[in-house]
Amino acid sequence: MTREFNTVGVVGLGTMGAGIVEVFARNGIDVVAVEISDAALERGRANLTGSTGRAVAKGKLSAEDRDALLGRVSFAVGLPALRDVDLVIEAVPEHLDLKQRIFAELDGICKPETILATNTSSLSVTEISVATHRPNQVIGIHFFNPAPVMKLVEVVRTVVTAPEVVADVEALCARLGKVDVTINDRAGFIANALLFGYLNHAVAMYESHYATREDIDAAMKLGCGLPMGPLALMDLIGLDTAYEILDTMYRRGGRDRRHAPVPLLKQMVTAGLLGRKSGRGFYTYEKPGSPVVVPDEQTPLADGAALADGARAIAKVGVVGSGTMATGIVEVFARAGYEVVSVTRGAEKSATMCETMKTSLNKGVVRGKLSEADRDAALSRVTWSASLEHLADVDLVVEAVVEELSVKKALFASLDDICKPGVVLATTTSSLPVVEVAMATQRPADVVGLHFFNPAPIMPLVEVVRTIRTSPETTATARSVCAALGKTGVVCADRAGFIVNALLFPYLNDAVRMLEASYSTADDIDHAMKLGCGYPMGPFELLDVVGLDVSLAIQRELYLELREPGFAPAPLLEHLVTAGYLGRKTGRGFRDHTHR
Contacts of 459 (CB under 8 A, 6+ apart): 222, 223, 452, 453
Which of 5, 388, 12 has the alpha carbon at shortest distance from 165?
5
Q: Respond yes or no: is residue 207 known to be catalytic.
A: no
Q: Which of 22, 124, 142, 527 is flagged as catalytic?
A: 142
Q: How many CA atoms lie within 13 A of 468 on its CB side?
A: 3
Q: Respond yes or no: is residue 121 known to be catalytic.
A: yes
Say how far apart CA 116 and CA 118 lie, in whole Å.
7
What count of other Cβ atoms lies within 10 Å of the Cβ of residue 179? 16
Q: Which of 47, 119, 121, 471 is flagged as catalytic?
A: 121
Which of 594, 548, 550, 556 has the alpha carbon at shortest distance from 575?
548
Which of 182, 151, 174 has the alpha carbon at shortest distance from 27?
174
Cα distances (angstroms) measured from residue 453 to each of 150, 430, 457, 484: 30, 9, 9, 17
- For 172, phi then psi, to 5°, come to -65, -40
- Alpha-helix residue ranges (DSSP H) falling in 72-148: 96-109, 125-129
Contacts of 514 (CB under 8 A, 6+ apart): 190, 193, 194, 520, 525
- Alpha-helix residue ranges (DSSP H) falling in 534-584: 539-546, 548-562, 571-578
Q: Respond yes or no: is residue 47 known to be catalytic.
A: no
Secondary structure percentages of the chain, helix, strand, coil, to 5: 50, 15, 35
Q: Respond yes or no: is residue 154 known to be catalytic.
A: yes
- Alpha-helix residue ranges (DSSP H) falling in 183-339: 191-207, 213-224, 230-237, 239-252, 263-270, 324-335
Say how far apart CA 129 and CA 137 lie, in whole Å.
8
Q: Which of 51, 119, 122, 192 is flagged as catalytic?
A: 192
Radius of gyration of the chain (CA): 27
335 near 457, Cβ under 8 Å?
Answer: yes
Say how far apart CA 217 and CA 201 lie, in whole Å.
12
Q: Which of 35, 90, 94, 154 is flagged as catalytic?
A: 154
> Would residue 310 be called left, alpha or beta, if left means φ above 0 and alpha means ψ between -120 and 50 degrees?
left
Active site residues: 121, 142, 154, 192
